[in-house]
A and B are shown apart, each in its own frame.
Chain A
Amino acid sequence: MSEEAVAQTPSRKFHLVPLGIFILLCMVLAAGLRFDPKLVASPLIDKQAPHFSLPVLARPDESVSPESLRGKPWVLNVWASWCTACLQEHPLIVDLLAGQTTLVGLNYKDAPSAARSWLDNWGDPYTLSVIDQDGQAGFDWGVYGVPETFVIDERGLIRYKHIGPLTRAAIKEDILPLLRRLQANSQT
């Protein structure tokens, strides 16, 4: 009898261990479900914006580079006329972002004529768009799913990246507050 009692005490103590492991596993898996594997953190955050020097869509004899935009924070939005998700975010850009900052469109792997008529149709919220016809600049910026949006600070560092179509929440809660902070910084 006494041996039985001794043998049972430790096993009682460990009874809850499988349950504990199970709950832990559930928590890990639940956290995993919240991640979107399509969103890959960019290694370019807090790095210098990659160089390009590309013709301006409206005035192809002029060219613009990230270096020429230094001194004030700006936003780069990667778009194309063939990109349906770009059309989805477009009204939000027109309503919420246009006029708030220097807004550069990177027209990615597109035909300039198609790009121009797209802007004519849907409105042009951009300060200017640049033509990245072979996608080299997009590649250097780590673009893998158009549309993508970057916020660059006054020193030319990439501070924020949004992959996929912008949402009202992303603009109002992330991009605009960040721009306000950066704009305040660059004025002091």
Chain B
Amino acid sequence: MITVAGRILVALAAAATLSVASAGGIEVVNFADAEQESRYMDLINQLRCLVCQNQTIAESNAELASDMRDVVKEQVLAGQSDDQIIGFLTERYGDFVRYRPPIVARTAALWFAPFVVAIIAFLLLPRLANRRRRVAIPASEQDNAKRLLSE
């Protein structure tokens, strides 16, 4: 029992360390209210760091990510809206900074191709399934089987 409890404790401690480590890039920021803080957290978790491209600017320790966090912080404090802040960054770094790309003509394939493929698959599925059932046992084989069974 003690060892089991011990293991759980170790696992919890490890998990806690990990989450602290992944939040390592975040500086202490003094916001006027909780709403600003939650907007800040929300924004830095949906913006991509261009240096380490598979991390958000919240996760990344790169200098650019820290600059970008500063910009987000300043603009949140200055009362800019989320759209204004994201716009400010995409003006400089492009839509790539957004983990959630906008739905525009250029990104239509990205957003809609999966649904189109799924629809095509559902349309083709019954036809393919039918054909396979028909091919499954040819008449001559069925006769053969009946003959063998009746013997």
Contact = CB atoms under 8 A, between A and B. Distances in A.
Given A1-B140, A144-B64, A43 B92 contact: yes
Interface of A: 1, 3-4, 7-8, 10-11, 37-38, 40-44, 50, 109, 135, 139-142, 144-145
A38 B53 contact: yes
A139 B92 CA distance: 7
B59 to A, nearest CB: 16
Query: Closest 9 interchain pairs by CB?
Result: A144-B50, A142-B92, A43-B94, A4-B138, A7-B135, A40-B96, A142-B93, A7-B134, A144-B64
A186 to B, nearest CB: 27
Given A3-B138, A3-B139, A8-B135, A40 B67 contact: no
A68 B98 CA distance: 34
Contacts of A142: 92-94
A30 to B, nearest CB: 19
Contacts of A8: 135
Contacts of B63: 109
B92 A140 contact: yes
Nearest to B49: A144
Chain B interface: which size bin?
Answer: 20 to 34
Given A135-B67, A141-B92, A40 B134 contact: no
B71 A40 contact: no
Contacts of B134: 3, 7
Give the interface SS of chain B, mostly helix, strand, loop or mixed.
helix
A10 B93 CA distance: 52
A44 B131 CA distance: 54
A7 B53 contact: no
B22 interface: no
B33 interface: no
A8 B131 CA distance: 9
Contact of A11 (B53, B67, B96, B131): B131
B92 A145 contact: no
A180 B90 CA distance: 31
20 contacts: A1-B139, A1-B140, A4-B139, A4-B140, A7-B131, A7-B135, A11-B135, A40-B93, A41-B94, A42-B94, A43-B90, A43-B91, A43-B92, A44-B92, A50-B92, A109-B63, A139-B71, A142-B92, A142-B93, A142-B94
Nearest to A134: B67
A172 to B, nearest CB: 27
Given A42-B94, A139-B67, A144 B51 contact: yes
Interface string B63-77: 110010001000000
